[in-house]
Amino acid sequence: MKHDIYKLAEQYHLNESEQQMFQSLLEAADQNIQYSVREFAARNYVSPAALIRLSKKMGYTGYTDMVYRLGFLVQNEINNKNHESDITAFIGEIPFEKMNRFLELLKKHRHNPILITGTGFCAPLRDFFVRKLLVMGYCAIGSNNYEVYEGNALSAGMVIAISKSGTTDTIIKPVRDACAHGIDVVAFTGGAHSMIADMAELSFVLLDDKILDDRNLTANYFYARVLILFEYLMDMTWETE
């Protein structure tokens, strides 16, 4: 498994060779293999001195300390993966076919603008979706402006609509316009038989704890479920790329 070490590389000013060594160390830790410094150096065509310099550069006392601590980091990731069943229990019985279809749509529109719309309490979710997709290399744009959708001015290939009720007028119009232009629409909603869910190419229906609480005066975990589901989908995307 290839790990994302972008921030670590930036933090410790790792050059390309050092990044490759560090990736190889993580891969060995993934497989629970501990090589001596000479064994690892020979297998990766580097010198033992280079490995020791890398360990010091990253704040470890030496190669052995680095390998030992990386083993703990990787094990923590494995333990977190083992909790995925707890996550899926929280977001509900969403078929993997739907999740896979979402991944297919993302792949299809890898190089097309992806518009994301959401208002009110869903606006922060819209902004999070945009930021997440941007750092993963997608062209994501958050917009509720009708003009953007009416003529598909940005030549979007996909629209993601977030609406708790699925009946929000300010979201229905962008979704309807997107459908009219043949744009793939994905909905995250609490309304199973809502207009937005029905119009969308793909709809994720999550539990809305308080359907009758229009102003969100009491606790509602719908928004948390949307966020967790999206993060789960992004994790699946990361693993397949």
67-71, 131-135, 174-178: range with lowest mean pLDDT: 67-71
> 3-state class of 41 per DSSP?
helix
* Residue 219: pLDDT band with limits 50, 70, 90: confident
Q: Which residues of 158-197 are buried (b: 16+ CB within 10 A; e: fewer)?
A: bbbbbbbbbebeebbebbebbbeeebbbbbbbbbeebbbb
Token pair of 69, please? 């601590």
Residues in the chain: 241
pLDDT score of 24: 93
Give residue 109's pLDDT band: very low, low, confident or very high (50, 70, 90).
very high
CA distance 162 to 225: 12
pTM for the full predicted model: 0.70
User: 198 pLDDT exceeds 80?
Assistant: yes
Give first-to-last CA distance, the chain, whole Å. 11
| pLDDT recorded at residue 216 | 77
Q: Is 212's pLDDT higher than 80? A: no
In a 3-state reduction of DSSP, which class is residue 229?
Answer: helix
Where along the chain do its domains lie? Answer: 6-81, 85-240
The CATH classification number of 6-81 equals 1.10.10
The model's pLDDT over 43-67, given as tens digits with 9 standing for 90+, comes to 999 999 999 999 999 999 999 999 9
Which CATH architecture fits 85-240?
3-Layer(aba) Sandwich (3.40)
Q: Which residue would you say has higher pLDDT here, 5 or 88?
A: 5
Query: For 17-30, how does the pLDDT look when each residue is reduced to its tens digit (9 = 90+)?
Result: 999 999 999 999 88
* Predicted local confidence at residue 2, as pLDDT: 65
Q: Which helix (H) or strand (E) holds 161?
A: strand 158-163
Q: 193 falls in which pLDDT band (50, 70, 90)?
A: confident
